Structure 1
């Protein structure tokens, strides 16, 4: 029996060794354009470290904001200490997760808030700091997901769009533990992938075209050390003031910003 959370076609190194010896990660055959956060352009070949001496074809790539060194190394240590006091649950593709948010059935568009106790207390400082950034001054997170990636488990995440019915314009992630790459692909550019650098202790905001027209994923080969991603999501317009489900949204926000949250996995364990 597999000791992982993989289902369907998704696999990790754990289940591949135990059950699916022939499974391997699909390699990307697209032309790689690397995004430079210092000039907000993607360049074919090279890396963000080449700035300002970029070469190759360029691609405009709006919808990415990166704040390097959003937290200090000392703050990272404190946050990770808080996170690892709570249990993780197995997730797909070799990841482990902690959820702070409502239980959602996206297919049926149903939300249950009875297991939602709010965002964790350590996120209050991060929330205040995010609000001091222009692009996030009106950002109101109602869900937090902590995802652990380990190279020995072959952790990855397939290219995907985050849900549009419940989750709003901006996806915000704090990247801890190590550097990695967010790979963006789009049916509008079938021969191109854009690699977004995720620097250790940096904050990334995905919005606009990068949110709506490009899928994002992380390849197994780009996880070389333990990585912990903290992702915050806001509500869509339907759940905002004036929307059809405004009251539902306000209830979720009231719970989220108590900062008294316990992860769903902790509730199950207790």
Structure 2
């Protein structure tokens, strides 16, 4: 079974056997002793190959493709320039409920198997994706305030002020910054570049305010593309995925 999230999975420690949160996803059942009356998180619905990320091994297993209802979704994704030639080989559907305390811990998705673009479709309710980075590298943050008001951001450097605003800049270490990305219901998120490989993403418990479903799609890394070390296996997985005959594995 492909592990949910496809990322660096520290998980939430030892879990009760009937907890279904998997990997970096957590629920209150993971964190409380049994008998507290807290229902477990629903298990993820995976459509993808059998993968052992630790040993870097995979095989098709019982994978028979992405689900038929995703055919149109994938076609419509291709209309966006950023998703040109995006060919997913895995889809993972996650079900979040505030009463279960659903959340996702900060993590980076795997880069051995999964490629440049990580695509998520946010359904049913809005949420917030929180981006963070474990790095002391310096970011230059810009704060703009209306003219005549005092900026709440301290700064030693003044930018060129437009007529109706005042801009200030300050240097802040990356590990002191968390970027909040608001995701409306029915929005599509694409992480790539630094957001994919350097900044961890998470969803905090307080940002699951009502029932939410997320469908995440992943493409293959260069190693599994034509000309790559495992290009033939990648082509086999891609043909299976795009048959759209899948059942959860």
Secondary structure class of the residue paired with 1:190: helix
Structure possessing the higher relative contact order (Cα contacts under 8 Å, 6 or more residues apart): 2
Secondary structure class of the residue paired with 1:119: coil
**Partner residue, 2:45:** 98
Going from structure 1 to structure 2, the CA distance change for 1:128 and 1:163 (only over 3 Å counts) comes to same
Is the counterpart of residue 200 in structure 1 residue 215 in structure 2? no
Aligned pair partner of 2:230 in 215, 221, 245 = 245
TM-score (norm 2): 0.73
Q: 1:113-132, aligned counterparts within 5 Å?
A: 113-132=60-79
Cα deviation 1:221-265 (Å, max 9, x = unaligned)? 11010100000000000001111100010000000000010111x
- Taking the aligned partners of 1:168 and 1:9, their CA distance within structure 2 comes to 19
Is the counterpart of residue 112 in structure 1 residue 112 in structure 2? no
Contact 1:3 1:15 in 2 (8 A): no
- Taking the aligned partners of 2:79 and 2:23, their CA distance within structure 1 comes to 42
Contact 1:2 1:15 in 2 (8 A): no
Is the counterpart of residue 142 in structure 1 residue 82 in structure 2? no
RMSD across aligned C-alpha pairs, in angstroms? 2.3
Contact 2:65 2:242 in 1 (8 A): yes
Cα deviation 1:12-67 (Å, max 9, x = unaligned)? 2234444498xxxxxxxxxxxxxxxxxxxxxxxxxxxxxxxxxxxxxxxxxxxxxx
Secondary structure class of the residue paired with 2:46: strand
Alpha-carbon shift at residue 3 of structure 1 (Å): 4.0
**Partner residue, 2:29:** 14
Q: For the pair shown, which has the larger CA radius of gyration, 1 or 2?
A: 2
- Extract unaligned runs of 5+ from structure 1: 22-89, 265-270
Secondary structure class of the residue paired with 1:255: helix
Aligned pair partner of 2:208 in 200, 223, 236 = 223
Contact 1:144 1:232 in 2 (8 A): yes
Secondary structure class of the residue paired with 2:175: strand
Contact 1:171 1:206 in 2 (8 A): yes
Alpha-carbon shift at residue 11 of structure 1 (Å): 5.2
Contact 1:149 1:227 in 2 (8 A): yes
Which piece of structure 1 moves more, 4-13 or 194-203?
4-13
- Taking the aligned partners of 2:186 and 2:30, their CA distance within structure 1 comes to 31
Going from structure 1 to structure 2, the CA distance change for 1:192 and 1:107 (only over 3 Å counts) comes to same
**Partner residue, 2:6:** none
- Taking the aligned partners of 2:123 and 2:88, their CA distance within structure 1 comes to 19
Q: How many residues align?
A: 194
**Partner residue, 2:4:** none
Contact 2:89 2:219 in 1 (8 A): yes
Cα deviation 1:104-138 (Å, max 9, x = unaligned)? 00011110202101000010000110111111111
Contact 1:94 1:153 in 2 (8 A): yes
Going from structure 1 to structure 2, the CA distance change for 1:209 and 1:95 (only over 3 Å counts) comes to farther
- Taking the aligned partners of 1:9 and 1:239, their CA distance within structure 2 comes to 25
**Partner residue, 2:246:** 261
Going from structure 1 to structure 2, the CA distance change for 1:20 and 1:221 (only over 3 Å counts) comes to farther
- Taking the aligned partners of 1:180 and 1:95, their CA distance within structure 2 comes to 18
